[in-house]
Structure formats: structure tokens, C-alpha cells
Structure 1
């Protein structure tokens, strides 16, 4: 009898660290960062060309309308007008740089996926044990969520505002948060690591995209209020109302995931430390994040808040997310001090 066994198994600490795979993982991270930087440049060129696209589209529409009017006058009836209009539909101009940006985004995401998989293979466990691993997995989730979204909606105009924070996260992971591949602390060797931390990172990915759309809401609202005619490249980005609704939709997805994160963390705490809640700094700030985003959703659902008032709460929520990740993990000592730094 032949027994098939998987080549990679998670033994939560018995696996010797493979330095070669770890270094290869790092190289894929650098490659992903380079590709995403090129994607950002492509999206920037697409936005820069938007005023010209609009001018050419308006000129083409004028030319088409003039030809249609001449044809109608020569035929002496509205029937020809209707028929001619049907034969010359408005065709949007191809956005070459946006297409390149999306293709590079897919490539960057695949390279980042290889980075995550190789990091996992190098230590024989899920790559969720320290801030470096949280960051690379989080960046992968952000890109994955954005690209899946792109399959259903045209989000090319948002590309630079999503790829930018992802690239920044990759740079911070490589230059600030980096931790050499190593085994888990004994308290982390539990299957709840995969459940609790994975869902937490996924929810933070949605919080991050919602932060970008919130910033875009403020920018577009300011432009609308002053009737901006200077920064016309931003006309390619949807207006403030669309950005407001988009943020709301993203946070509706993120909030239940974060709720599960808090509950799962309490269950794991009971198994690891014998109590569900110990007012550890990480627990407290996780609860603060939950309360702020709950206030955001409650204000929108019951008080009918939208626009700036709701956006300020959303910004406060993401500020708490950043504080929890960058300050609590590094500078505040507690039972969750697993940053690896």
C-alpha cells in the first residue's frame, strides 16, 4: 500500500526553519513591491490623461451630433435622425494605462501570494506569528479584495488609492517590521491562531480599503463644494456620494468579521490563560475599534447620518486600527506582545 503525505504540514514548532525558502520569500516580496510601484505609476498616468480623454470624448460627441443633424436635415424627417443615432453610438476611449495598472496589480498580488506561501513553508506553520507576517498577509488580503471587486465593478480609477497603501505596507514590512523566520512562542501553538488572526487580518484589509474611500470622499466633497476646475484629473474618480456609499458597504462587511475576531480572541484566551477577558491592552483596543465602528453603523442606520459626520467616525475607527497595530504591538507590554520586534 502506498501512503501519500503532504509535503508541507503544520506541526506548530517541530519544523526546522528553512533559511533558503525564507530568503526566497523575501525576494518575492521585493519583486511584488517593484511591480506594484509600476502599477501605481500606470494608474497615475491614467488619471493624468483623464482631462484629455474627456475633451476628446466631447469633441467626438459634437462631431457625431453635427453629422446626425446634417443627415436629418437632408432627409427631411426624424426617422432618419433616430436611425442615424442608432448607427453611431458613443464608444468610450480605451484606457490603456488603467489596463496596464490592473494587469500589474494582478501580477503583484501573485508575487505577494508566493511570498506568503514560501514564508509559511519555511517555518511549517501559517505565517501569522509576528508583525512582519501580519503585514505581508494583510497586504495580500487588501490586493485580493480589491482585485475580486474589480471583476464585478469598474474600480480602475481607485487603483492608485488602494495599491498605494498596499505598497507602503510592503515597504514597512521589509524595512521596519521584518523578523527572521522562526518558530512560534509556546502560547501561540494553537489552531485558534489560524482562525482568530486570519479573520482579524481580513477585516483590517476591508478597514484599509474603506479608509481610502473615506479620504476620497473628503477630497471629492471639497472639490464639489468649491466647484473645482483645477484638479480635473480627479473627475475620473466617482463623486462624494458614491464614495460615501462605498465606505458604508465596505464597513458593513468588515464589522461582522471584526466582531468574530473579538469573540474568537476571547475563546482562545480562555483556552490559553483560563479567562475570557483580562483587560490586556490588545483586548481593550480591539474592543475600542469594535465600539467606534459600531457607532458608525448605528449612526447611519438609526440617525440617518451620512457624509462628513459619518466619515469622521470612520476615520476615527481606522486611527484606532493603526494605533492597535503600530503602537500597542510595539510599545505597550502585555500578554499579546508577539510583534517579534
Structure 2
């Protein structure tokens, strides 16, 4: 958590610096770049420091963003080590209760962000991801921490590995997509300071949709695997348990999101809000449903 906090600070400082920087007009950048006069009669000095440019790409020219990403990778490595040690201490996979699921789930969310660098540079999401990781881990440690306990009989199955791990993967991609959707909405309303360095709202929406579709595919498998596991554990595929119902509600929201955007032409803020509502339902399912609704999944609140 301490390293995630340092990463968040580095990203936040970079965002503040870029928000305060005045953009350099394109004509001026071209003239200076070509060695033209900078001012009335003073030649441009090749060794002069570059002026802060809020319209420059966030991750390629920003020292703060690079430091933030390096700290995020370090925090993620320590995070994975902690989850691995928890699993070794328990002699099982570390996701049988709310604390362990939060520990693993946040690691997957950060991991998706870190590994996305191989596909697309999403460093502009650094403040959102590291802030989310710090808050979620803090809440989980304060409110949900429990000592290592034996698995209840219903969890003593290989489906625990499959079902819960795929659910965490889905949550990771959906969390990343939600961050992109939030930035899309903000950029649609304002486009100054730090926001000038982000992709356009249309590009953010396209990225959010791609990531959201991957999350939806994993969540579909989560729903199917949960039904198969329920048949093995309780002798029925579906029993309208509160947890089962909310898992299905989340699936319906994301199915509506994918369908509405792909076939109904829902673009812009409506598309973004659907993804945000879906991720909010995931958080509600993990917190409120686990703690305050009775059912066969009550062990998930341990």
C-alpha cells in the first residue's frame, strides 16, 4: 500500500503539473523545432529546456508518469508476493473470503493495467488505478482481514480456482474499462490542462469498449462456471441465491452495454455510463451483497 501510495502521488503531481502548464501553439512549436527565431530576434538555443506542453503525450515526455509507472510495477510485484505468501500459509489459493478476494482482485486489476503496456500505453490511467488499489487494499485490510482459516466444504473443489480466478480477471478488465469511461466523460465536458494530453473521447470510448468486451466474456464464463459448481456442490445449477442473482444482474448490464453499442449505435456518454453502472454493480455485489444478504454464499463474507 505504501508503494501504491507513492505511485499515486507521482502520478498526481504529474497531472497537476500538466494541468497548470500552458499549451504551446502548434505554430510556435514548429518554428522552434525548425530553429526559427524564438521571440523578437533571439535564436532558439538547442540546449534550452523545453517548455511544459500539456498537449504532449502523457507517457512519452513525462518524468512523473514514468516514475509513477515504475513504482506501480514495484508495488504490483510486492502485492503478488504478498498474495503468494498468503496462499502458501493457507495451503490453497488465496481467494476464499472477502479479504483474500480483494487482495487477489486488486492485484489482477493492477496487473491488467501494467501488462496493457504490451498492447497500448494507458499510463494516463495511473492516478485512477493506483488510487483505486490504495483505497481498496486499505478498506480490505481494515474491515475484512481475517486469519487463515480452513475451507468450508462447499469450497473444497477445483472449481474454486477456475470460477473465482476468472471472476477476478473479469473484474480487472471491467475496472480498467470503467477508468477509461470516466476519463471519456470528463474529457467530453472539459478539454484543458492535463486532459489535452489524453486521447480523444472517441478513442477513449473505443478503448473502453474493447476492454469491456473482454471483461464481459470472462464474466459470462464466470456465470457458467458458477452454475456448474453449484450443481456439484448443492445439486442444482440455479437456485436464485442472492449472489447468483446479482452475478446475473451484472451480466445483463454488460450484455446490454455490448449490445447497445454494437447494434443500437449507443455512443458517447450513454455508452460510458452503462459501463460505469456495470462496475458499480460489481462493487455492490462484492460489498453489500456479501455482508448484508443471507444465502448459500455467506462464506464469502468471512
Do the structures match in fold with TM over 0.5?
yes
Per-residue deviation, 1:120: 0.2
Output the CA distance in 2 between the equivalents of 1:156 and 1:223: 20
| TM-score, normalised relative to structure 1 | 0.78
Output the CA distance in 2 between the equivalents of 1:244 and 1:308: 9
Which is further off, 156-165 or 251-260?
Answer: 156-165
Structure 1 gap ranges (5+): 1-32, 69-90
Runs of 4+ in 1 over 6 A off after TM superposition: none
Output the CA distance in 1 between the equivalents of 2:216 and 2:259: 12
Output the CA distance in 2 between the equivalents of 1:120 and 1:141: 15
Per-residue deviation, 1:64: 2.9
Aligned to 2:16: 48
Per-residue deviation, 1:53: 7.8
Indicate yes or no: 2:132 matched with 1:171: no
Contact 1:158–1:237 (CA under 8 A) maintained in structure 2: no
Per-residue deviation, 1:41: 0.9
2:188 to 203, 207, 221: 221
Contact 1:46–1:97 (CA under 8 A) maintained in structure 2: yes
The RMSD of aligned alpha carbons is 2.1
Aligned to 2:4: 36
Contact 1:126–1:194 (CA under 8 A) maintained in structure 2: yes
Indicate yes or no: 2:27 matched with 1:63: no
Contact 1:43–1:156 (CA under 8 A) maintained in structure 2: no
Aligned to 1:100: 67
Output the CA distance in 2 between the equivalents of 1:155 and 1:54: 22
Output the CA distance in 2 between the equivalents of 1:315 and 1:163: 18
Aligned to 1:81: none
Contact 2:3–2:74 (CA under 8 A) maintained in structure 1: yes
1:317 to 275, 278, 295: 278
Indicate yes or no: 2:297 matched with 1:329: no
Per-residue deviation, 1:176: 1.3
Aligned to 2:269: 308
Structure 2 residue matching 1:129: 3-state secondary structure? coil
Contact 1:179–1:340 (CA under 8 A) maintained in structure 2: no
Indicate yes or no: 2:228 matched with 1:267: yes
Per-residue deviation, 1:155: 1.9
Cα–Cα, structure 1 residues 198 and 105, in superposed 2: closer, same or farther, change >3 Å? same
Per-residue deviation, 1:235: 1.8
Per-residue deviation, 1:184: 0.8
Per-residue deviation, 1:132: 0.3
1:281 to 237, 242, 254: 242
Contact 2:260–2:266 (CA under 8 A) maintained in structure 1: yes
Output the CA distance in 1 between the equivalents of 2:266 and 2:135: 32
The aligned runs of 1:180-219 (5 Å cut-off) are 180-219=147-186
Output the CA distance in 1 between the equivalents of 2:98 and 2:253: 24
Output the CA distance in 1 between the equivalents of 2:135 and 2:262: 34
Output the CA distance in 1 between the equivalents of 2:23 and 2:11: 17
| TM-score, normalised relative to structure 2 | 0.88
Output the CA distance in 2 between the equivalents of 1:267 and 1:274: 9
Aligned to 2:105: 138
Contact 2:290–2:301 (CA under 8 A) maintained in structure 1: no
Output the CA distance in 2 between the equivalents of 1:144 and 1:57: 37
Map Cα deviations across residues 56-95 of structure 1 (whole Å, 9 max, x no partner). 9975533234539xxxxxxxxxxxxxxxxxxxxxx98732
Contact 1:210–1:251 (CA under 8 A) maintained in structure 2: yes
Contact 1:45–1:97 (CA under 8 A) maintained in structure 2: yes
Q: Which has the larger radius of gyration?
A: 1
Output the CA distance in 2 between the equivalents of 1:142 and 1:208: 7
How many residues align structurally? Answer: 282
Map Cα deviations across residues 128-148 of structure 1 (whole Å, 9 max, x no partner). 110000001011101111011
